[in-house]
């Protein structure tokens, strides 16, 4: 059993907003300048205000903007800079050998149209 949190637990409790780093005030992923919520313009939406807030990784202390790190973690389980694993890899979903309902209905519709064309040919031959 792994000591790593699940993805949901990590996203809920593992990321923490932090002050803008003095040594590098830009996100290393998007190169946009970090913002802190109190310093954002009053006309900025809440989403805009949150998007470039610096978020610090708990185990390696690397810092990324909120938008970039949450987007990254939707696809990858590691820190973008040092590649330390941050949470458990999700179990792959088993592939079903059964066709989905939409695949089946598309096939049935195509099959029906072909049959209808053949029947129409018989009807016109008389």
Instruction: Report the C-alpha gap between 40 and 65 in whole angstroms.
Output: 14
Count CB-CB contacts under 10 A for residue 77.
Answer: 17
Query: For the chain, which residues score pLDDT lower than 70?
Result: 1-2, 37-50, 93, 96-126
Dist. CA 91–CA 11, nearest whole Å: 17
Residues 63 and 53 sit within 8 Å (Cβ to Cβ)? no
pTM for this model (two decimals): 0.61
Q: What is the pLDDT of residue 89?
A: 85
pLDDT value at residue 42:
42
Q: What pLDDT, on a 0 to 100 scale, did the predictor assign at position 105?
A: 53
User: How far is C-alpha 53 from the chain's CA centre?
Assistant: 18
pLDDT number for residue 32: 93
pLDDT of residue 45: 46
Check residue 95 and give its pLDDT. Answer: 72
């Amino acid at each position: 059993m792994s000591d790593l949190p699940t993805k949901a637990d990590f996203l809920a409790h593992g990321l923490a907003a932090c002050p803008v780093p003095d040594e590098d005030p830009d996100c290393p992923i998007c190169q946009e300048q970090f913002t802190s919520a109190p310093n954002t313009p009053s006309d900025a939406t809440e989403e805009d205000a949150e998007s470039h807030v610096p978020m610090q990784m708990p185990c390696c202390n690397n810092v990324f903007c909120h938008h970039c790190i949450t987007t990254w973690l939707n696809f990858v389980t590691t820190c973008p800079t040092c590649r330390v694993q941050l949470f458990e890899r999700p179990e792959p979903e088993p592939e079903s050998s059964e066709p989905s309902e939409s695949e089946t209905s598309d096939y049935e519709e195509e099959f029906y149209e072909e049959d209808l064309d053949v029947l129409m040919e018989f009807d016109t031959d008389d």
